[in-house]
Structure 1
């Protein structure tokens, strides 16, 4: 009998519901994506039956849409519902474990190779919880399953100098993407980006989780670059965003600079809406340079701290 079937049915459904909601909230599952029960079961280490129950619960909460004859897909406003759903269900506990693991990895306290049992013992996690976290880390590019046994933590940006190098790469590609022939930012996407920035200025900068703040920036810049129609620009930016994630989380302890960044994002959107691509490219370059300059102010937060193993 598997570990999943030994657990109380209600607990398994709760784990499955939380895990799927997390995948939606983090953008792994995007609006319009169709959910396959077997694929989710394999990914989360949970049987198909509780996955089906979990999807029905999430459809009732607005995260998913039931498609007659086709199962379930992520609702258009699923990510917004997912964020509130996770808060209600205590998603902060799993987020806390994620950041503990991330901090231990950055500080060198977590070894490069480790078994799942050691991870569960170290962080007090259930099998389903750990599977959810490891799948997230694998999607972000800093953990991968070892053939036959355990997990390996991949190389990530672990120094302020490396983070600054990532910004120099972004300076090279992001403004250039706005000058691509046929650049077009969809009007609906532009409005969605604007609404997010306005909510940030209306108070979410102070109240949003580190996850939300980071994803807001990632989605904004990937939307801007993606409108170039050139997949090479977007693929490069996505890879950079995955590997710089952990160091950026440390910098979120100081949120004072995000109000200016949100205002600059809004100015950039207004310029793109006018079709002034060259002007927008110059604004984007200045925006990224400004962020780079401000990294020096938070450099102490980015410096890796030494912790004893244990």
Structure 2
């Protein structure tokens, strides 16, 4: 059948209606893509000002460019991304905060639930050190694109890596409470010291953004935020404090530790009562930095981290709960 000619001789082709099934599948992929991009912003893989390339994101997430474009429009409407005429989208200056709110509102979708099932199985020793993608899809009921998103996230967090030619390998790093305590001792060595670096300067915009997040936490988000959001909030705060030192070695070390301690920290988030005190200490730390009281701030940060370490002993049974499952 010959298509009719439109204005100025342009041939027009009829637009075929989208079936309900196709529409639902497309909507799900867009939603999952938006969640995945939000996670990349929240964990610092995508930073404020970074320009997003649709094809690169499509390759990373294992989907086509169409749902990526739709997902970026959704996130721009939410304030997480900025639309640049003629240049696409970039991460907004306050994108990490919007990412945390977006993920908290969405709660535990199917993909997030699958992530936590895999994490728990790994901590419990129920997953082998190496596994094929097909075995992962069969075990968790995931599609190829969904598993690709999860494995890329795990690789970015440092606890999974692709094997040359076939399958994936899980890291043994930071899967024990002892290893988590060791990571805090490392943080005790570098974080207070970062505040004493010559020329330390926390940008006013960053300080205000950190303060707003902690005030929202004290206003009720401690009880309502997802484990993802709680963890990311703490990571962003401490990386902002250390990043202001201007010493890239401090920040790079902290980022590496934060990526690979995520699994055990998630399990400890079951007890949220201590986070109110931590948020209050974060606010006091910001006040000292704002005053230029770096030595006092370094002392408070050391005490803050030591307090967190002491609390780890109270949740140690929870951290070990599934590593030695009872019969």
User: Is this a same-fold pair by TM over 0.5?
Assistant: yes
Counterpart contact for 1:158–1:304, Cα < 8 Å: no
Counterpart contact for 1:86–1:92, Cα < 8 Å: no
1:266 alignment partner in structure 2: 283
* Alpha-carbon offset, residue 122 of structure 1: 0.8
TM-score, normalisation: structure 1: 0.90
One of 129, 141, 145 as aligned partner of 1:128: 145
Gaps of 5+ in 1: none
* Structure 1 residues 86 and 212: CA distance shift in structure 2, 3 A: closer
Distance, in Å, in 2 between the alignment partners of 1:18 and 1:217 is 20
One of 212, 222, 231 as aligned partner of 2:229: 212
1:95 alignment partner in structure 2: 112
Distance, in Å, in 2 between the alignment partners of 1:44 and 1:192 is 29
2:188 alignment partner in structure 1: 171
- State the Cα deviation string for residues 252-273 of structure 1 (Å, max 9, x = none): 1111111111111111111111
Distance, in Å, in 2 between the alignment partners of 1:212 and 1:66 is 25
* Alpha-carbon offset, residue 246 of structure 1: 0.8
SS at match of 1:65: strand
1:115 alignment partner in structure 2: 132
1:146 alignment partner in structure 2: 163
1:161 alignment partner in structure 2: 178
- Corresponding position: 1:40 with 2:57: yes
* Structure 1 residues 50 and 265: CA distance shift in structure 2, 3 A: closer
* Structure 1 residues 228 and 249: CA distance shift in structure 2, 3 A: same
Counterpart contact for 2:104–2:224, Cα < 8 Å: no
SS at match of 1:144: strand
Distance, in Å, in 2 between the alignment partners of 1:302 and 1:269 is 31
* Structure 1 residues 209 and 132: CA distance shift in structure 2, 3 A: same
Gaps of 5+ in 2: 1-21
* Structure 1 residues 280 and 45: CA distance shift in structure 2, 3 A: same
- State the Cα deviation string for residues 8-52 of structure 1 (Å, max 9, x = none): 555544443343233334443233211101111110111223322
2:91 alignment partner in structure 1: 74
Distance, in Å, in 2 between the alignment partners of 1:238 and 1:265 is 19
Counterpart contact for 2:107–2:226, Cα < 8 Å: no
More off after superposition, 124-133 vs 77-86: 77-86
TM-score, normalisation: structure 2: 0.86
- Corresponding position: 1:281 with 2:281: no
More off after superposition, 272-281 vs 88-97: 88-97
* Structure 1 residues 267 and 117: CA distance shift in structure 2, 3 A: same
* Alpha-carbon offset, residue 88 of structure 1: 6.0
Distance, in Å, in 1 between the alignment partners of 2:95 and 2:110 is 21
Larger radius of gyration, structure 1 or 2?
2
Counterpart contact for 2:52–2:90, Cα < 8 Å: yes
Structure 2 counterparts to residues 183-194 of structure 1, below 5 A: 183-194=200-211
- State the Cα deviation string for residues 273-294 of structure 1 (Å, max 9, x = none): 1101111111111111111111
Distance, in Å, in 2 between the alignment partners of 1:175 and 1:43 is 36
